[in-house]
């Protein structure tokens, strides 16, 4: 109805404007027609309506006589409409003409006229907007001057007084951003505060004044770091949002600015909840802003920036992908002449840079440089954002040089960052960042060309960057880390001990910081440990201790599992290096603790989440917390819920640690607890670097060299030679130390806990198989099992929850897209023959659906899978067991199970104990997943197994553990040992029997 009435009004006014003979009446009709078109534009954001409004204004101005008292009003309105079109299209002609006609409006408005302050203020806004585009200092000075005049002409108590205070404050803010005069930002905040105080809560302008005050406070915080400013900013912007009704056109802008303040607070305090809330309110801002609205690109850009910040902190790849997608859309929506285009390009380039650092796709860094070069070219000389664009271009060029070593890139990087510094006045808050980045480029120059002047200058500018960065600033650890790296290179070149001490002091400060990204702190810790190791520095132990402590933060529980695994690839050989250093120093118990702490980090986190809390509940009223997330939520909502619960989890843990007797709750176990892993028999930890540990006797090293080169050599030999070498270099020294030198009447049970590449070798099959002597094979002396960590043997639930025994057997002989394995049918029949008198549930072919299997696993005590197993190298948690119709029981699904009565699972499938080469310290395979699900023991395979061999092994195993109709899973290791021995003595090849292993109890 409203649209019909508006259309009727427009038609009537248009007719009047065309045929009305009276000039004044015709001008008035055009003026009203303009008002309707402008209102239509503001309501529906149709650019055509704005074009018509401007055309009507122009006609009204032209028709009006020079002495018409309304002419100044027509001119003012004409200028305001041109200003709005410049906001949309960025055409300089519009803003120039806007200023010209608004100057005419001011000139034609008599002193004392009630509209004089309004016309002055509008002229000031147009001058301010042109300054934002061209950076001509005369524009901002004139903007401030005419706005001061507008304020002075507005009497106290006038309803427009707060608006003019607000407007003058905005111009002073822009002046401060350009010149850095602190009096400008202080005066701006004072004016805005006055505007807020003069405006009652019920006034429609109150939210806008609160919003603008928040922007000013955030700006001052970014420059001077007063936490009171950002706290007040968030508070007033939250008030602005609350006072703005839903559906109001200003609501998205207020949400957007609140999100920006929350991001700044996050960057200072590193509280994950701040960046999560920032993203949430910015998403609301984007959703509430209609397509085609001139503010839409800005809201999308700001959301992208917050996603980048969270990616930098947490490393979730979905965040950086979403950021790039948003910012690419923003760039497409923004014309080249728009004043915000360079900033949008620059932000897109930064997101592409971070993506390249994470994924190493060369197209990302090339695109980053390209769009940043566009940003620099589109930014006018003298513009306050010019140094920032130059600086970020230099960063991307330096990054590409790191990967491609093109000397042109590093020379250009150094040059553009130096230009950025020259354009930035002393005292500017971005100066330390530019100094830091210049230092990085100079370091790369030194590494490439070896000019000592480059490394000396790199240290000098980085020292300045650190000194100019306040204590507690989130960027401080990164700048200390970068300075430390330059000092290390200088020490290696000059050999000056004083430089070494300074480097270690700098890196240790960065690693031990309580602010900033754990990723940066970890980098500093690793660099510290490496240089301390090389130079035999006394701080080596402290370096390893701090670095290992940072591992759980690096693989933060709030990240998706695949991202935690990705982060842990950066840990490399940390745990093994640390243990070797501890052994060398004679600190054997520490070595054991460090190996346990630095390996299977994600596995340990999952175990923590399943820790029984009965004893804790007796000491505290801490409530249980459950998630109500459903599959109806978006991916972002689920991620937000996950991060929220993680933050809550960490808060609760901190509270628990304050309870007497629970100060070590869920913290890394000390050796006094870890040695309990040997309560059933010896546990041997094999460290790749050099040493072997023995339990239950006191930890003691065997100095048996076992290097990467040796292992590579082994893998090139035939199978028999590999097993012989493992026997002579690894297993026999262990057995000798345990006094297993003569053939026992009863075999002892031992557990192997191999680290690094040793985890991929068949320790359990080591032996000299070319000699008839029965004392040259491991199987002649002991029964072998494996464990991923010592913790997996501690507090084993020997007595499971009372539950009727049930054996589930799953077979899938004809899975789509996989070769047939007809032996699985025979395997199930053999198992069923031994299952007399117990509940036996077979699921084969189409009955073995994922849903059916999971349902029966929940009811079964033992499970056997006879099917294809697949290993996903790129994403190990997608490895799985192939079931009916090609469906897959994935590792990611298995580890989510919690089976309180589970005892034993037999994975008669290929590659079920094959881990990931890149994650050799993480137990990322199906067998380990079954342990997490609750099974006490797992029979699994290290690689491919034969279809004819599997039934023989299964027959031997189940004939023993189901002997007399009395299931006993604790006999599984012995049963497998005997079944394998039988197959071996029948003349089977190594590949037939070596793959089978037992894990757990």
Domains, the chain, with CATH or none: 680-691+712-786 (no CATH), 803-1000 (3.40.50.1460)
| 1001 vs 999: CA distance, rounded Å | 7
Cα(758)–Cα(991) distance, rounded to whole angstroms?
18
Average pLDDT over residues 214-219: 94
pLDDT single digits (tens) 471-523: 877 788 999 999 999 999 999 999 999 999 999 999 999 999 877 778 888 89
Phi, psi of 811 (to 5 degrees): -130, 140
**Dihedral in degrees, nearest 10, Cα atoms 919, 922, 928, 933:** -120
Per residue in 544-579, pLDDT (tens digit) is 989 888 877 776 655 666 666 666 667 767 888 888
Q: CB of 962 within 8 A of CB of 835?
A: yes
- pTM confidence score: 0.68
DSSP labels, 594-644: HHHHHSSHHHHHHHHTT---HHHHHH--PPP------TTS-HHHHHHHHHH
Dig out the tokens for 317 from the structure.
Answer: 């790849």
443 or 59, greater pLDDT: 443
Residue from 780, 751, 777 nearest 766 by CA: 777
User: Percent of the chain, pLDDT > 70?
Assistant: 83
- pLDDT higher at 770 or 466: 466
- The string of DSSP letters for 2-48 reads HHHHHHHHHHHHHHHHHH---HHHHHHHHHHHHHHHHHHHHHH--HH
Question: CA 659 to CA 669: how far, in whole Å?
Answer: 18
Among the residue ranges 150-159, 167-176, 518-527, 588-597, the one predicted with the least confidence is 588-597
Answer yes or no: is pLDDT of 992 > 80: yes
- Inter-residue contact 88 to 47 (CB < 8 Å): yes
210, 243 contact by CB (below 8 A): yes
pLDDT of 600 reads 67
Q: How confident is the model at residue 18 (pLDDT cuts 50, 70, 90)?
A: very low
**Contact yes or no for 654/698 (Cβ under 8 A):** no
Average pLDDT over residues 787-804: 70
Of 581, 791, 786, 764, nearest to 673 by C-alpha is 791
Q: Which of 140-154, 308-322, 549-563, 669-683 has the lowest mean pLDDT?
A: 549-563
Whether the pLDDT of residue 652 is over 70: the answer is yes
The CA–CA distances, whole Å, from 438 to 390, 397, 402, 420, 464 equal 11, 12, 14, 10, 11
Token readout for 429 is: 């808050």
Residue-averaged pLDDT of the chain: 83
Nearest to 861 by CA among 840, 830, 844: 840
Q: Which residue has the higher pLDDT, 465 or 473?
A: 465
> What mean pLDDT comes out for the span 13-19?
46
Q: Which helix (H) or strand (E) holds 321?
A: helix 317-333
Q: CA–CA separation, 577 vs 543, rounded Å?
A: 12
How do residues 945-960 score in pLDDT, each as one tens digit?
877 889 999 999 999 9
814 closest CA partner among 791, 845, 853: 845
Identity of the highest mean pLDDT range in 163-172, 632-641, 670-679, 728-737: 163-172
Q: Which uninterrupted H or E stretch holds 507?
A: helix 497-511
Report the pLDDT averaged over residues 322-334: 96
Per-residue model confidence (pLDDT) at position 915? 63
Cβ neighbours of residue 717 closer than 8 Å, sequence gap 6 or more: 725
Tell me what percent of the residues of the chain surpass a pLDDT of 90.
48
* pLDDT of amino acid 630: 40
Q: Where are the alpha helices (DSSP H) in 512-573?
A: 518-535, 540-554, 561-568
Q: What is the average per-residue pLDDT within 372-387?
A: 90
Q: Which of 36-40, 180-184, 510-514, 974-978 is the most confident on average? A: 974-978
Tokens 């060309």 belong to 449
Residue 161 neighbours by CB under 8 Å, 6+ apart: 151, 154, 155, 198
> How far is the C-alpha of 330 from the C-alpha of 341, rounded, in Å?
9
Query: Which candidate, 298, 293, 226, 230, places its Cα nearest to that of 258?
Result: 230
Please name which of 805, 809, 882 lies closest in space to residue 842, comparing C-alpha atoms.
809
Model confidence at 704, pLDDT cuts 50, 70, 90, reads very low
Look at residue 239 and tell me whether its pLDDT is greater than 80: yes
pLDDT given for residue 574 in this prediction: 82
pLDDT value at 296 more than 90: yes
What is the number of alpha carbons within 13 Å of residue 85 lying toward its C-beta?
Answer: 23
Question: What is d(CA 697, CA 935) in angstroms, rounded to the nearest whole number?
Answer: 28
pLDDT (0 to 100) of residue 71: 87
Mean pLDDT for 282-309 is: 94
Which of 364-378, 544-558, 805-819 has the lowest average pLDDT? 544-558
Strands 748-754 and 806-811: unpaired
**pLDDT at residue 750, rounded to an integer:** 94
Which residue would you say has higher pLDDT here, 606 or 862? 862
Q: Residue 715: what pLDDT?
A: 38
| Residue 542 CB contacts under 8 Å (≥ 6 apart), including other chains | 508
| Per-residue pLDDT at 623 | 45
Residues 436-451 have pLDDT tens digits of: 999 999 999 999 989 9
């Amino acid at each position: 109805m409203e649209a019909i009435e508006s259309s009727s009004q427009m038609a009537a006014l248009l007719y009047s404007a065309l045929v009305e003979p009276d000039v004044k009446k015709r001008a008035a009709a055009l003026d009203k027609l303009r008002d309707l078109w402008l209102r239509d534009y503001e309501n529906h954001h149709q650019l055509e309506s704005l074009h018509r409004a401007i055309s009507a204004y122009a006609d009204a101005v032209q028709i009006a006589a020079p002495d018409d008292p309304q002419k100044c009003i027509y001119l003012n309105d004409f200028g305001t409409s041109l200003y709005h079109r410049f906001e949309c299209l960025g055409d300089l002609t519009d803003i120039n003409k806007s200023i010209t006609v608004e100057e005419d409006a001011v000139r034609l408005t008599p002193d004392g006229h009630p509209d004089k302050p309004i016309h002055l203020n509008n002229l000031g806004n147009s001058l301010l907007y042109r300054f934002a585009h061209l950076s001509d200092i005369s524009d901002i000075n004139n903007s401030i001057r005419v706005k001061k005049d507008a304020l002075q002409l507005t009497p106290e108590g006038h309803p427009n007084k707060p608006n003019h205070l607000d407007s003058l404050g905005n111009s002073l803010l822009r002046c401060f951003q350009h010149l850095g005069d602190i009096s400008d930002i202080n005066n701006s905040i004072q004016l805005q505060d006055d505007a807020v105080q003069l405006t009652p809560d019920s006034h429609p302008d109150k939210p806008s004044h609160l919003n603008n005050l928040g922007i000013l406070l955030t700006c001052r915080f970014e420059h001077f770091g007063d936490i009171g400013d950002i706290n007040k900013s968030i508070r007033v912007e939250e008030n602005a949002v609350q006072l703005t009704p839903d559906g109001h056109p200003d609501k998205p802008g207020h949400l957007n600015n609140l999100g920006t303040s929350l991001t700044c607070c996050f960057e200072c305090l590193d509280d994950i909840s701040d960046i999560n809330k920032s993203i949430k309110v910015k998403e609301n801002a984007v959703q509430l802003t209609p397509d085609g609205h001139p503010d839409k690109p800005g809201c999308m850009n700001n959301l992208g920036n917050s996603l980048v910040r969270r990616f930098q902190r947490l490393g979730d790849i979905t965040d950086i992908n979403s950021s790039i997608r948003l910012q690419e859309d923003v760039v497409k929506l923004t014309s080249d002449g728009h004043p915000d285009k360079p900033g949008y390009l620059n932000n897109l380039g930064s997101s592409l840079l971070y993506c390249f650092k994470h994924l190493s796709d060369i197209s990302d860094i090339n695109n980053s440089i390209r769009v940043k070069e566009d940003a620099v070219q589109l930014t006018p000389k003298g513009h306050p954002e010019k140094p920032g664009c130059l600086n970020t271009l230099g960063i991307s060029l330096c990054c590409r040089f790191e990967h491609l070593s093109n000397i042109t890139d590093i020379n250009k990087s150094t040059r553009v960052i130096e230009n950025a510094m020259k354009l930035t006045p002393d005292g500017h808050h971005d100066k330390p960042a530019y100094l830091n980045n210049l230092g990085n480029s100079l370091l790369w120059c030194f590494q490439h060309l070896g000019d000592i002047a480059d490394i000396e200058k790199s240290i000098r500018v980085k020292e300045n960057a650190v000194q100019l960065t306040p204590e507690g600033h989130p960027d401080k650890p990164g700048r200390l880390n970068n300075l430390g790296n330059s000092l290390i290179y200088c020490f290696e070149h000059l050999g000056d001990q004083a430089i070494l001490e300074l480097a270690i002091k700098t890196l240790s400060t960065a690693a031990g910081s309580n602010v900033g990204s754990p990723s940066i702190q970890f980098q500093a810790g690793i660099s510290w440990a490496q240089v301390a190791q090389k130079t035999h520095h006394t701080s080596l132990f402290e370096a390893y201790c701090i670095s290992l402590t940072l591992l759980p933060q690096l693989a933060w529980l709030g990240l998706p599992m695949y991202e935690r695994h990705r982060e842990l690839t950066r840990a490399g050989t940390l745990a093994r290096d640390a243990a070797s250093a501890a052994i060398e120093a004679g600190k054997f118990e520490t070595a054991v603790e460090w190996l346990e702490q630095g390996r299977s980090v994600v596995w340990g986190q999952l175990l923590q989440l399943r820790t029984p809390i009965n004893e804790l509940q007796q000491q505290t009223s801490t409530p249980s917390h459950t998630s109500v997330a459903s599959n109806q939520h978006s991916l972002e909502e689920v991620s937000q819920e996950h991060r929220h619960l993680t933050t809550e989890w960490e808060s609760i843990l901190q509270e628990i640690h304050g309870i007497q007797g629970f100060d070590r709750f869920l913290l890394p176990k000390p050796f006094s607890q870890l040695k309990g892993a040997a309560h059933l028999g010896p546990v041997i930890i094999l460290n790749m670097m050099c040493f072997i540990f023995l339990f239950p006797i006191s930890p003691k090293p065997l100095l048996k060299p076992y290097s990467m080169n040796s292992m590579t050599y082994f893998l090139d030999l035939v199978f028999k030679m590999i097993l012989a070498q493992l026997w002579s270099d690894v297993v026999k020294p262990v057995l000798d130390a345990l006094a297993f030198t003569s053939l026992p009447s009863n075999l002892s049970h031992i557990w192997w806990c191999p680290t690094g590449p040793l985890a991929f070798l068949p320790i359990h099959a080591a032996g000299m198989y070319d000699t008839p002597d029965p004392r040259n094979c491991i199987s002649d002396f002991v029964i072998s099992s494996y464990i991923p960590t010592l913790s997996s043997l501690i507090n084993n639930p020997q007595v499971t929850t009372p539950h009727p025994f049930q054996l589930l057997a799953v077979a899938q002989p004809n899975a789509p897209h996989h070769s047939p394995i007809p032996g699985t049918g025979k395997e199930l029949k053999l198992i069923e023959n031994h299952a007399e008198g117990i509940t036996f549930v077979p699921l084969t072919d189409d009955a073995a659906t994922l849903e059916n299997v999971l349902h029966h696993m929940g009811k079964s005590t033992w499970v056997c899978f006879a099917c294809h197993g697949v290993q996903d190298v790129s994403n190990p948690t997608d490895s799985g067991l192939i079931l009916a119709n090609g469906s897959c029981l994935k590792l990611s699904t298995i580890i989510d199970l919690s089976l309180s009565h589970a005892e034993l699972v037999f994975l008669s499938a290929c590659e079920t104990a094959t881990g990931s080469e890149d994650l050799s310290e993480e137990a990322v395979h199906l067998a380990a997943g079954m342990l997490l699900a609750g099974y006490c023991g797992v029979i699994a395979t290290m690689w491919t197994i034969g279809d004819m061999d599997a039934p023989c092994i299964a027959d031997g195993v189940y004939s023993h553990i189901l002997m007399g109709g009395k299931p006993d899973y604790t006999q599984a290791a012995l049963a497998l040992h005997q079944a394998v021995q039988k197959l071996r003595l029948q003349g089977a090849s190594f590949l037939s029997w070596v793959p089978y292993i037992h894990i757990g109890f």
